[in-house]
């Protein structure tokens, strides 16, 4: 709208309408491909030529085509990055971002694979090196475990620049049967209209601050302000409202159903519109004229009046009183101290300290460069994860003999099925920050290293052929995080981490 207005002021609307649409420029293959020899000459005029060719072009009838001198599939001077020529079983992280267009990256690892003459878009390969050139240890079939929310359709609010929401559910990540996620943005003072869900809603504030309000079945009311790093939870069916405060907000919502859809939410506006006015007049003990100005469409996300700075002005209670403490719907996780260990930091939130969210357990994890969340699996729940910052990779081991490695960057969702072994390794130059969410009454996992350390020695040696020196060095207590060399290809040269 602002763009059109400014053009109109300059008298350039007609000129702008005639301009070609701007195009993104990507690093991709160019030249002849698939029998097409670009650039194609521009043609203006009535259609000419047939859409279908002659039957004389059928195999055995047509003359033999030339097999050289055309669009060769040979890639001249392919470029390999550090680690690509190392043993493929090492599975080193390959920094394809350092590859030089158009000679790299190439899908080669440990002498396997081959060059790629195209078609291709290099940005995808740079973001997903373990998909493009997988470790030799990746075998078999593992369900797709990664979805970038940047590829989810964005649904805009009803108000002018009031906000938006995008979601992940089984429609785009079929393996995610137990949980789904929504990334929502509210402009300063904007609302997510009064609503409720058929699923429980666990939320982490990513940016800004939100005022939340709700009531339970006993008529106890709740209102609180949450800020970046804080959490709220509303059980299934509990009606609530969300309003961004003066700096706006973005938050992550996790629901306890893989089929959850933001578009299936129960809305106060729709409930009002879909029930006879006479019924509402009786229910609210008022005249039917009171409903002359009710909305004629859902409001969804819309701009609102700034919330009063004094929250007590909105703390309305019945004789049942207010909810607080263990019955309250928020937890100020931002104020919890970190558990610090070599290689990173962790903090856990589960029903032990936030009992209202009786089946949500979460860990917020920070990994330093080169560090990793140790190899582990969860016994009680699938894991839904979200990457807030940095880059990482996860190898998912699926019984009995399959594995696949996935790459993640900020804004990506991961999903790992219960009992599937996995780790999270920082692949970037800075810290990686990610969230792990379980449907469990306690956040827990099995540490692969601790299991080996606490299993009778001869059993491990006879099964895995590991030496006493290796087993002696494994801590008997769970470490959660393992430190590592930020130079992730150093082992290929030195033989040491």
CA 214 to CA 240: how far, in whole Å?
4
CA 403 to CA 382: how far, in whole Å?
17
Measured in whole angstroms, the distance separating CA 328 from the mean position of its chain's CA atoms is 28
Q: Which residues contact 447 (CB under 8 A, 6 or more apart)?
A: 374, 375, 376, 478, 479, 480
CA 343 to CA 402: how far, in whole Å?
29
Q: Known catalytic residue: 436?
A: yes
Per 3-state DSSP, what percentage of the chain is helix, strand, and coil (rounded to 5)?
20, 30, 50
Closest-CA residue to 241 (of 268, 281, 218, 262): 268
Q: What sign does the CA torsion over 487, 491, 493, 495 have?
A: positive
Token pair recorded at residue 1: 């709208």
Q: Which residues contact 427 (CB under 8 A, 6 or more apart)?
A: 93, 391, 392, 393, 407, 488
Residue 112: φ, ψ to 5°: -105, 165
Residue in the block written with tokens 């790299």 = 104
Closest-CA residue to 395 (of 93, 172, 65, 174): 93
In angstroms, the Cα distances linking 433 to 144, 287, 367 are 22, 54, 7
CB-CB neighbours of 179 under 10 Å:
27
Residue in the block written with tokens 């007590």 = 312
CA 439 to CA 427: how far, in whole Å?
28
CA 190 to CA 208: how far, in whole Å?
12
Preceding omega of 119 cis (within 30 degrees of 0): yes
Closest-CA residue to 293 (of 269, 310, 312): 269
Which one of the listed residues 125, 262, 425, 436 is annotated catalytic?
Answer: 436
Per the rule left: phi > 0, alpha: psi between -120 and 50, beta: everything else, 61 is alpha
Instruction: Give the count of alpha carbons within 13 A of 455, CB side only.
Output: 16
Token pair recorded at residue 490: 């150093």
DSSP H or E run through 442 = none
Token pair recorded at residue 374: 């140790």
Spell out where 235-359 has E strands.
240-255, 266-267, 301-302, 330-331, 339-341, 344-349
Catalytic residue ranges: 436
């Amino acid at each position: 709208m602002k763009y059109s207005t400014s053009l109109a002021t300059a008298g350039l609307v007609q000129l702008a309408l005639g301009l070609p649409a701007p195009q993104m420029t990507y690093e991709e293959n160019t030249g002849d491909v698939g029998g097409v020899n670009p650039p194609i000459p521009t043609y203006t005029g009535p259609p000419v030529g047939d859409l279908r060719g002659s039957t004389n072009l059928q195999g055995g009838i047509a003359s033999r085509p030339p097999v050289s001198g055309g669009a060769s599939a040979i890639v001249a001077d392919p470029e390999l990055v550090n680690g690509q020529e190392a043993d493929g079983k090492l599975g080193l992280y390959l920094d394809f971002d350092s590859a030089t267009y158009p000679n790299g990256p190439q899908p080669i690892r440990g002498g396997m694979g081959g060059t790629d003459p195209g078609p291709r878009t290099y940005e995808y390969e740079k973001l997903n090196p373990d998909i493009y050139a997988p470790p030799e240890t990746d075998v078999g079939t593992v369900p797709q475990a990664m979805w970038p929310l940047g590829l989810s359709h964005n649904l805009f609010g009803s108000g002018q620049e009031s906000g938006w929401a995008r979601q992940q559910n089984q429609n785009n990540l079929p393996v995610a049967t137990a949980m789904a996620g929504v990334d929502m943005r509210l402009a300063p003072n904007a609302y997510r209209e009064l609503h409720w869900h058929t699923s429980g809603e666990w939320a982490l504030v990513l940016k800004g601050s939100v005022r939340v309000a709700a009531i339970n079945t006993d008529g106890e009311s709740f209102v609180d302000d949450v800020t970046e790093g804080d959490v709220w939870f509303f059980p299934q069916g509990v009606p609530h409202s969300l309003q961004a405060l003066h700096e706006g907000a973005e938050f992550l919502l996790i629901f306890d159903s893989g089929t959850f859809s933001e578009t299936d939410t129960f809305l106060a506006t729709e409930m009002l519109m879909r029930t006879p006015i006479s019924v509402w007049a009786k229910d609210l003990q008022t005249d039917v004229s009171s409903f002359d100005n009710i909305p004629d469409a859902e409001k969804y996300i819309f701009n609102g009046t700034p919330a009063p700075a004094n929250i007590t002005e909105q703390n309305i209670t019945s004789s049942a009183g207010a909810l607080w403490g263990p019955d309250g719907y928020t937890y100020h996780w931002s104020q919890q101290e970190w558990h610090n260990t070599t290689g990173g930091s962790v903090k856990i939130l589960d029903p032990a300290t936030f009992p209202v969210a009786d089946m949500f357990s979460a860990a917020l994890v920070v990994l330093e460069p080169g560090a990793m969340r140790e190899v582990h699996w969860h016994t009680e729940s699938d894991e839904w994860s979200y990457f807030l910052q940095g880059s990482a990779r996860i190898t998912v081991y699926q019984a009995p003999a399959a594995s696949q490695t996935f790459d993640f960057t900020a804004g990506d969702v991961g999903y790992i099925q219960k009992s599937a072994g996995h780790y999270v390794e920082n692949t970037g130059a800075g810290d990686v920050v990610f969230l792990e969410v379980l449907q469990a009454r306690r956040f827990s996992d099995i540490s692969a290293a601790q299991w080996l350390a606490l299993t009778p020695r001869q059993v491990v040696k006879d099964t895995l052929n590991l030496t006493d020196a290796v087993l002696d060095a494994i801590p008997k207590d769970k470490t959660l995080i393992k430190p590592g060399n930020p130079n992730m290809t150093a082992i290929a040269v030195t033989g040491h981490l």
